[in-house]
Structure 1
């Protein structure tokens, strides 16, 4: 049952890190009356400071269990170039979504805002989101937990189980917060669960066809910044990159969920099927003609 214990260890590390990070932020605000960004920075530092080294430790146990130590792990800096693969994919799908939404009249574009109005806020948010969300979540779930599950199950089952654990993580943290008397950090409802489920599958598939966790990290960050600075900027109280009408209706949902998340799932599946077909074709072409006859 080592594999089951390792799955629980990875998942509970993420859940514990999330809870302690939010608790640290709340305590820091009460003690020092910090602003929102300072609170979020503390949460990000605590989150990555706890989760990343512990998961890397558990990863060594995974390698011993499987008996395979890769020369270039999925989290290696040598695979960092795939970070830009994820960023560009998210931006490209979002841009296509805006073009379609404008052409269909779901949103009405008004104007662009110059970078000096939002660039500093965006860069700060990218740094915090990297520490608090993208890096620890991708390393723990799409990395270690998936590798353990993949050692026991076929790929689609491992993707499904990892995604269910991804959805369960914020639910568990919210329940712990309620039990200890803290305000819940997330409003858990069906739309949120559907989004998290689709997002989890999306991020795992990105790792599968690139072989790098950095793809998911880049995509994760790009998605967060697009939603926070373009699609629903008023929700986060930050200056928008563009102003348009109709963003809170079908247009915003179509771009965020339909084009970016579902679109990336479709793109990933097409690439995975194409790569599998090419591998099979290559294997067939390398078969000696005499063996074919036999």
Structure 2
């Protein structure tokens, strides 16, 4: 039953680290009057500083349990080129969503804002999102926890169970924040649960067809920045990359989100199916 202990250890690491990281920003602001960007830096360093070394340490025991240690692990720097694959795929799918919405008359582009208005905020947020969200979540969930589940279950069930663990991490941290008197980091509702459930499946499938966690990390990071600086802007005190008029409020965000997540799932399934067909044919 070691695999259950590793699941609990990995899941607990993510929950505890996310809670401590989110709280560290508020504590630094209250005690030292830290600026928003300083809070972001502290949160990112705490999150990755806790999750990454612990998960990599646990990974060695997972390899002993499975009896298989790959020559090039899924998190290896030698697979870093797949990071670009994930980034470009997210940008391409989001762009396709905007083009379709514009062609159908659902949105009308109004203005492209010059980069000097948002570039610095974007770079800072990329660093924050990488260390606070994309890197630790992918190496923990789509990495170690999935590999432990795959040791015991078939692929489709492992993907499903990993995604449920992904959802449960967010819910658990929100509940802990409420219990200790803090405002939850996100508003938990049925729409948000469905969103992150589909997002988790998409990210796991991306790792499967490339064999690299860096694909998931790149896609995860690009998705967050597109959301924050194009689809749902004005959260960071700077103009968005692009402004557009919507025929129905929220339709631009809905189409872009669906295109990135559902499109990512479809692309991954097509590629996995093609690889399986070729493998059977040889």
Q: Same fold (TM over 0.5)?
A: yes
Regions of 4+ moved over 6 Å:
none
User: How far apart in 2 are the matches of 1:23 and 1:229?
Assistant: 24
Over residues 125-168 of structure 1, what are the superposed CA-to-partner deviations in whole Å (9 max), with x where a residue is unaligned? 00010000000000000000000000000000000000000001
Partner of 1:2: 2
Aligned to 2:245: 245
- SS of residue matched to 1:234: coil
Structure of greater Rg:
1
Partner of 1:30: 30
1:9-66 residue CA offsets vs partner (Å, 9 max, x unmatched):
1111000000010111111010111121211111110000001000000000100100
RMSD over equivalenced CA pairs, Å: 1.0
CA shift, 1:105, in A, is: 1.2
Contact residue 174 and residue 186 of structure 1 kept, 8 A = yes
Contact persistence 2:74–2:211 (CA under 8 A): yes
> Which residue does the alignment assign to 1:194?
194
Select between 108-117 and 268-277 the one with higher mean Cα deviation.
108-117
Aligned partner of 2:156 in structure 1 is 156
Residues 168-218 of structure 1 show CA distances to partners (whole Å, capped at 9, x for unaligned) of 101000111111111111110011001100000000000000000000000
In the TM superposition, residue 238 of structure 1 has moved relative to its aligned partner by 3.4
SS of the equivalent of 2:160 reads helix
CA contact (8 A) 1:202 1:264 kept: yes
State how 1:66-215 maps to structure 2 within 5 Å. Answer: 66-215=66-215
- Per-residue deviation at 1:239? 2.1
CA distance in 1, matches of 2:273, 2:255: 25
Contact 2:106/2:252 (<8 A) preserved? yes
In 2, the alpha carbon distance for the partners of 1:82 and 1:47 equals: 23
Structure 1 window deviating more from structure 2 (228-237 vs 264-273): it is: 228-237
Where do 1:38-53 residues align within 5 Å?
38-53=38-53
Gaps of at least 5 residues in structure 1 are 283-294
Deviations 1:69-109 (A, max 9, x none): 11000000000000000000000001111100001111110
* Counterpart secondary structure, 2:234: helix
Q: Distance in 2 between matches of 1:64 and 1:14?
A: 22
Q: Residues of 2 paired with 1:51 and 1:239: CA distance?
A: 33
Whole-Å separation in 1 of the counterparts to 2:119 and 2:234: 16
Partner of 1:255: 256
The CA distance in 2 between the partners of 1:248 and 1:219, in whole Å, is 26
| Shift in Å, 1:235 | 4.0
Residue 59 (str. 1) matches residue 70 (str. 2): no
Partner of 1:292: none
Give the match's secondary structure for 1:31.
helix
